[in-house]
Chains A and B, each alone.
Chain A
């Protein structure tokens, strides 16, 4: 069964600190893995997309890693800001369907305190 599991479910950190969010998946065949940021009451916004051959990708203070062998990914946030408070969703695309089906994790709810 294709699944995407994220941990922790929620996380509270102080402004300026770093944090790392985890994602494990069982989706096969694998096409790509995305990390989205979803502010409360808004739609998800893409942070990074990684294919099988990529093991790290950065977008400003966000750095995603991918280990396709162990089917694990992480999102590292550096020097957190209050505006980083959001849900971070790991999404894996299935290469086996013409639709390009996406499998979503439940997200990690990050809260950054001043």
Chain B
């Protein structure tokens, strides 16, 4: 079983609030990813990181930002949440040269 964790698992928040979704992994993986998934739809890559101090935007435009100060942590921040940000956010990681991408349990975000 993968050692990748996300908190909170569920979050309901009002419009305009700042939120941070936490993701951590204890496998020492260099590459980490954030995906956004709406019900019945495919996962879309919104951010990724090759390692510490490396962050890039993914395929899907997102108003969120990420940081990678430590190998094991890859938090995602929304400065001002809006109803359009309502979605499931999945964090994943991959080891150097590995094929397997391990996913966290996800954060279900609802912005009212």
Contacts and interface: CB of A to CB of B under 8 A. Distances in A.
B101 A102 contact: yes
Given A49-B99, A49-B100, A93-B99, A43 B90 contact: yes
Nearest to A100: B94
A83 B100 CA distance: 23
A104 B105 contact: no
Contact of A45 (B6, B31, B44, B103): B103
A43 B99 contact: no
A105 B108 contact: no
A106 B99 contact: no
Interface in A2-49: 4, 32, 36, 41-46, 49
Contact of B103 (A43, A93, A106): A43
Contacts, number: 46
Contacts of A42: 105-106
A25 to B, nearest CB: 12
Given A106-B41, A107-B42, A46 B106 contact: no
Contacts of A107: 40, 42
Interface string B56-79: 000000000000000000000000
Contacts of A106: 40-42
B106 A43 contact: yes
Interface in A51-108: 89, 93, 99-102, 104-107
A105 B37 CA distance: 12
A99 B48 contact: yes
Contacts of B48: 99
B45 interface: yes
Given A49-B100, A89-B42, A102-B101, 14 more contacts: A41-B88, A41-B105, A43-B92, A43-B103, A43-B106, A44-B43, A46-B102, A99-B31, A99-B48, A99-B50, A100-B31, A101-B45, A105-B42, A107-B40
Interface of B: 6, 31, 40-45, 48, 50, 88, 90, 92, 94, 99-106, 108
Closest 9 CB pairs of A and B: A43-B103, A104-B42, A104-B43, A106-B42, A44-B103, A43-B105, A43-B106, A43-B104, A43-B90
